[in-house]
Structures are given as structure tokens and as C-alpha cells.
Structure 1
Amino acid sequence: MLDFSGGALIAALLIYSLSFVFFAIAVGGKKWSNREPAEHGRRWGWIAFGAALAGTAAHVTFFVTRWIAGGHIPTSNMYEFMTMLAMAVMLAFIVIYLIYRNILLGAFTLPLAVILIAYASVFPSEIQPLIPSLNSIWLRVHVTTAALGEAFFAVGFAAALVQLLRVVDFTRTDKAGRKARRWTEYTLVVIIIVIGFLVSVFSFRAAGYEADFQQTVVKTVNGQEQTYVQKVKYGLPPFVKPHNSETVSVKPFLGMEKPLFEAPSWMNGVNAGRKLNTIIWSLLSGLILYGILRLVARKQLGAVISPHLSDIDPEDLDEISYRAIAIGYPIFTLGALIFAMIWAQIAWSRFWGWDPKEVWALITWLFYTAYLHLRLSRGWQGSKSAWLAVIGFLVVLFTLIGVNLVIAGLHSYAGVS
């Protein structure tokens, strides 16, 4: 069953990639066809959407079969949650696409789903048993609705990013023009850093790289200090080793035979040193990848993409982004706040506990509340609305990734394998 489930996810990933290619061809218009651009776009758009439906069907098959094999909803670790989020993004995309039929949305949403699946594959994929507090129907309702709300936010982000790339004038040299170009480029850099992280992890994993450390951990329990030793394994060359640890074995990489420094003592979360090392590698590999792309393009990446979007109506993208967020907001409210508090009361006998994940879920909700308020009462449309949608999804990403992996708490998942 697990082999079949894993095969279904691989099939979904391949079909999503193929769907993205079809959407790119649809956007390309007459560059690849002798037909009229509108006819060409419609034809390839439906082919691409059909492939997206097939990929989503394979993804749902993965989700259902893994649920059957594990005996519980597959959300117990980062691998399961991120694959479910990618599935939710595709379901949200299907809904929005059927309403607006905008092929450009597919060209930017499909890569997001692919990146989420690739990111999930970084983490251990073994099925883990649920502890009693997690084995509740309210967990299923809470997690699935929260993920679906975030998925609509992701679609809104994709439309907003396309809108910004469309309306920002990369030829302007005044202060306002330079500022718009700079922040648009920063957004693309964040995406490339995530891609660079995936490239580095899978590259060193394929090479079989490992580094092992032995860490001494001191904890205070009931007023008494307890000391124990744990093993920490790295999959990336260590710039930083765990705090209060000894090196067991490190494979040399580019002449680096030992870590450059030790993680600070205040970073006392689970495998904090390894996670800090991962962040360093993500920034380094992402910036190197961005530098290579800039050398090839010889201009800002936004300036490369923008001319290909000249036929797109930015007002349509603004409407799509707003509608996607408007649909996701009540779903997220139910899942991340109301259902979450009901589950917290059942699991931990309190509705609210200021756990880092709870705090950032509230921050996310407040941000999108402000977005909708400004949009409806203040008339914020166009670029202002798009920037809010982009920033909002960056907050979502920090809630999903930063809180789960960097900040210790009740909601923390397993780290990178």
C-alpha cells in the first residue's frame, strides 16, 4: 500500500510538471504556433488544465492510500502536511481556474505545487503513530480546513505576484520606480532561495553526504538538572555544529574538514544547530543560483519576465487575487482559529496557550483581516493590494516553515533528514 501511495505522489509530481509545460506553451501564444494567440491559448490551456486535473487525482490517491495505510489522517509530520498543502493548493487552483479561466494563473501556481512536494520530500517520509492528544476528529477538521484556507491564500499570492511583474515598470529610474523594482526582485529572490535549498539538499543526498555529532544536552526537570547525550546527523556539510557537541565524523567538502563554528547556547530547540546550518545553506545556495541567473540574463529577473506579460489585464489579476483570498479567509478562520481552539481544549484542556504556532496563526489571521478591511473600506486596489497579498503569504510561509522548524513548541514537526 505504501509503495502504491508513493508511486501515486511521484506520478502527481510528474503530471504537475507536464501541466506547467502545457500552461507555458499556452501563455507563449503564437511564438510556438501558426494559429491565432487566443485560439492557441484556449486549446493548450484546456490541455494543461486536464493534466492538472489528472495530477490532482493522482495526488488525492496518494493522500487516501496513505491515510488507509497509516490508520490516521496523514498530517503527523512535515512530509505529510506539506504534501497535503500542495494538494490543497491544486484544489484551490481548480476552483479559481474554473471561475476565471486565466491560463497565466496555472503557469505560476503549478510550480508552487511542485516546490511544495519537493520541499516535503526533504523530510522523513515514514508513517508515525499519533499520540493520544492528536488522535481526534477535531485534528482532521482543524488541519484540513486550515490548509485549504492557506491554499487559497497561495493562489492569491500567485496572482498578485504576476500582477506586480506585469505593472512594475523596470525601465523607470526615479526613486519610486527603483523601490518597486527592488522589492519585486526581493520576492523572486525568496522563491529562488527555497529552490536553492532544495537543490542543495537533494544534491548532497544523492552524493550520500553525512556528518555525525554527539551532543550533550542539559535539561532542568522539577528543579533537578538531567544530562543526556544524543546523536545528531547532518545531510549538508556543517558550517555550524550543535551547541556543546563533539564531532564524530565529517566528510570533507571543498577542503572543509570541520565546522566553522558552534551554534549559540540560546538556540536550544530540537536539532537547533542542524536547522541553523540548513538556513545558512539555503541562503548560500539560493544566492549563488540567483547570481548565475542574473549573469545569464544580464538584467533583473523581473525585467526578464515582465515583457512576456504585456497582454495580461492587471485588473483581472487583481480581481483573482482578491477573490481567492476572500474565499480562503473564512475557511482559514474556521480551521486555524475556531476548530483549532476546540481541539486545543480537548487535547490540552485550554482554548489558548500562546504556543508559537498559535500566535503566528493569529498574526496571519489579523493580517488578512486587515487586507480585506483595507480592500473593502479604503479602496486599496492595484499594486497596494497585490503587495499585501504577497506579504501575507510570506507570513503564511513563516508560520508553516519558520515556526515548525526554528521555533520550538507543541506544534513543531520533525526536522530535515
Structure 2
Amino acid sequence: MNLIDFSGDAFIVAFTLYCVAFIMYALAVMGRRFRKRDPEAHLAKWGKIAFVTTTIGLIGHLLYFFTRWAGSGHVPVSNMYEFMSFLSMAIMIAFLVLYFIYKKSLLGLFALPLAILIMAYAAVFPQQVQPLIPSLQSYWLGIHVTLAALGDAFFAVGFIAGLMHLLRTVNFSGTDKGSRREQRWLELVMFAIVVLIGFILSVYSFRAAGYQAEFNQTLVDPKTENSTIVKVEYNMPPLVAPYQSETESMQSFLGMKSPLMEAPSWMHGVNAGRKLNTVVWSLITGLILYGLLRLILRKPLAKVIQPALHRLDPDDLDEISYRAIAIGFPVFTLGGLIFAMIWAEIAWGRFWGWDPKEVWALITWLFYSVYLHLRLSRGWQGKYSSWLSVIGFIVVMFTLVGVNLIIAGLHSYAGTD
């Protein structure tokens, strides 16, 4: 077995152990609720077992990272599979750092599902080791990407603690305008998480079914007006076909034998139609999954989760969220901006080029700058601070995922296939 195969097995082991640890955290919380004698001891016992399992999973994740590095000859952060895998590993590292500081095992109840989702999302992309394009053949790649991802990971833990704070403090029995507004916005966040789960489920479902469709798309160079025909492959039923394309082959799905619409002309790039199709399927699957959950639970998802957090101190969660972001901000500043600009100068001959990923990295940095300013200078704490931490991580996820799915740019090399 070569190192690349071993790294793939280590990835699967880490993913499995994270799933087991999450189940243990869930059982610890559920058992505490139904245990009449010493429920806190029950939570502490199973929380420690879950923590140990998480640590072993992280060791497996580190094995994946270093063996893939050794097998490929470069830091494994050069495409979406490698980057998202590293991000999930960084989230677990950030979680463990904050755990050692605050000893709040229930953070794992939210940190682990986030890491698991990101690992599952990573596995959607091609996993083969790819040769680096010239602009990536620099040690600045590892410095820039790993530090940016580590900063994002601490932002993720800040989001987790902020979301837990909101779930703990929002008044679901309140009927006043303010309470209803908080309930709606919090439920919208839960819906967004379900949409991400729906995306992963839809991709894996159609992949397991072996679905495939092919189109011949005509691309016109706006400068020379020369046209070329390229083949575009879909692994999900094409609700949206590529712009200016003809169907070469398409499997029927629920009686649908042709695409419902064509991608708009303003969406540039050979993969634009396929990306839009993926977004549409994610929303459809997320809506169906969310509807089923609401039908089964008969309550808003946030309201269902709230009882599990009633013993947590909201002030502790607020403090953890702030500390995580305070740690992540300088790390992200170095990796996401300063070292990124140095690498851009080396790779493309300019420090800044208004590429979509660069712009959204700057927006992320500015948002968290505002967060820290309002927190330290204006005294924004509690719910205000928590909402900002949640919104901030939504900006982070759009920078990492949305830009690749919706906007084409120099960073689109990152494995959007």
C-alpha cells in the first residue's frame, strides 16, 4: 500500500471516529436528561470518553495529512478536497485548544457535526493527487492556505459557541415582535445547515445511482470571437443546462428527458451551468429534508435543540465565541491577507487583483474587524456578539464554497469538478 492509499484510509478512520464521538456526545446529553441520579457525573464520564475518541480521530486525521503530503510531495491544500479536509482538521484542532481552556465538552456536540459535514463535502470532489500548476509551485502555498484555514477554523468555533449561545438564550415562548424575529432568524440558520446536508446527500445519492448526462457547450472568446466546443459532464439530473449547449446524452429522471432551463448568459465559464445546477439541487433537497424534519418533530429545529443546552452558562459561551475569534483574527490576517498578497506577487506579478476570492477574503477580514471593534469599543456582548459570529461564519463559508460554486476567478483551480 502506498502513502496516498494509506492517507485515504486514515481519512475514513478519522471520519468514522468523529461520527462515533458525536454519537457519544449526543448520548451523554440525552442520558443526562433522563438520568435521575447524578446527571452531571454521567455527562462528565461520557463527555471524557467522547473527547478521547475525538482526539484519536484527530490523530488519524493528522496521519492522513502528513502521509498525503509525503506521498504527493507538496502540502495537501491545493484543491477543494485537500483544502476542505484540512479545514475540518483545523476545526478539530481549534476545538481541542478551546476545550483545554474552558473544559466545555458540549462544544463537541456542535464542533463535530460541522467537521463531519465539511469532511463529507470534501469527499464530493476528486481525490486524486493532481500536479500543481506553475502558480501553485511555491512554499508560500502552504504558508498562505494553512494559516488562512486555521484562522477560519477558529472563526468556526466562534460560530459554534455563538450559535449555542443563541440556542440557549432565544425565548421560544415569547410572542412579542423581538422574540419572533429572533426565532425566525435562528431557524433560518438551521435551515441553511440543513441545505448543506441536503447538498451532500443529493451528490452522494446520484453518484451512488451512477447518474450521468453530457452536453456540448459552445464557448465564445469575447476578445477574438473565436468559438470552441467543450464537453460538460453532469453527475446530477440537469435541471439547468450549460449556456449555449446541446444535449449529447442524458439519463431520464422522474420522466424528465431534457433540462428545464439553460444557465443565464452572465454566468461565465465552462462549469457555470453545472455549478448553478448543483445549487438548485441543494436547495430542493434541503427544502425536502427540512420539511420532513419539521413534520416529524412538529417544532422548529432550534426549539428542539434548546433543552439540551439549558445547563450551559450563556456568559461562558459568549466568552468562548469571542476568544475563538480573537485567536483566529490575527492568524487569518497573516494567512488570508499578508502572506496571500506576497504569494500573489510571486505567482501573478501583483499584490492585489480584485479576484472574487481575494475580494471576499477582504470582506471576511473587514467583517471580523468590525466585530472586534464593536465588542471591545462599544461593549457588544451576548446576543449582539453571537449574531455577528454567526453571520461572520456565513461570510466565511460563502468565501470558501459559494465563490467556487457561483463565481469564476483565478482561484477556480481549486477543484470545482
Indicate the larger mover: 150-159 or 265-274: 265-274
Pairs within 5 Å for 1:8-407: 8-31=10-33, 33=35, 35-220=37-222, 223-407=223-407
Contact 1:405–1:415 under 8 Å retained in 2: no
Contact 1:25–1:32 under 8 Å retained in 2: no
Contact 1:26–1:103 under 8 Å retained in 2: no
Could you tell me which amino acid in structure 2 is paired with residue 19 of structure 1? A
State how far apart, in whole Å, the 2-side matches of 1:409 and 1:183 are.
Answer: 32
Indicate the larger mover: 355-364 or 299-308: 299-308
Aligned residues: 415
> What is the aligned partner in structure 1 of residue 7 from structure 2?
5
State how far apart, in whole Å, the 2-side matches of 1:38 and 1:216 are.
Answer: 64
Question: Deviation of residue 307 (structure 1)?
Answer: 2.0
Contact 1:269–1:406 under 8 Å retained in 2: no
Matched position secondary structure for 1:257 = coil
Question: Deviation of residue 25 (structure 1)?
Answer: 2.2
State how far apart, in whole Å, the 1-side matches of 2:245 and 2:145 are.
Answer: 36
State how far apart, in whole Å, the 1-side matches of 2:202 and 2:355 are.
Answer: 31
Indicate the larger mover: 101-110 or 304-313: 304-313
Matched position secondary structure for 1:89 = helix
| CA deviations over 1:255-293 (Å, ceiling 9, x no partner) | 111101111111112410000100000000001100000
Could you tell me which amino acid in structure 1 is paired with residue 251 of structure 2? K
State how far apart, in whole Å, the 1-side matches of 2:394 and 2:361 are.
Answer: 13
Report % sequence identity: 62
Could you tell me which amino acid in structure 1 is paired with residue 308 of structure 2? H
Could you tell me which amino acid in structure 2 is paired with residue 41 of structure 1? L
State how far apart, in whole Å, the 2-side matches of 1:411 and 1:151 are.
Answer: 20
> What is the aligned partner in structure 1 of residue 410 from structure 2?
410
Could you tell me which amino acid in structure 2 is paired with residue 263 of structure 1? A
Tell me the TM-score normalized by structure 1: 0.97
State how far apart, in whole Å, the 1-side matches of 2:249 and 2:37 are.
Answer: 61
Q: Which runs of 5+ in 1 are unaligned?
A: none
Contact 2:219–2:270 under 8 Å retained in 1: no
Could you tell me which amino acid in structure 2 is paired with residue 173 of structure 1? T
State how far apart, in whole Å, the 2-side matches of 1:415 and 1:246 are.
Answer: 25
Contact 2:80–2:416 under 8 Å retained in 1: no
State how far apart, in whole Å, the 1-side matches of 2:174 and 2:40 are.
Answer: 31
Contact 1:29–1:38 under 8 Å retained in 2: no
Indicate the larger mover: 87-96 or 36-45: 36-45
Indicate the larger mover: 374-383 or 297-306: 297-306
Question: Deviation of residue 26 (structure 1)?
Answer: 2.4
Matched position secondary structure for 1:212 = strand
Could you tell me which amino acid in structure 2 is paired with residue 289 of structure 1? L
Question: Deviation of residue 405 (structure 1)?
Answer: 2.5
Q: Which runs of 5+ in 2 are unaligned?
A: none
Could you tell me which amino acid in structure 1 is paired with residue 273 of structure 2? G
Tell me the TM-score normalized by structure 2: 0.97
| CA deviations over 1:50-102 (Å, ceiling 9, x no partner) | 11110111011111111111111111211111001001111111100111111
Question: Deviation of residue 402 (structure 1)?
Answer: 1.2
| CA deviations over 1:166-187 (Å, ceiling 9, x no partner) | 1011111111111000000000
Could you tell me which amino acid in structure 2 is paired with residue 75 of structure 1? V
Matched position secondary structure for 2:219 = strand
Task: Say if 1:39 and 1:22 are closer, same or farther in 2 by CA, change over 3 A.
Answer: same
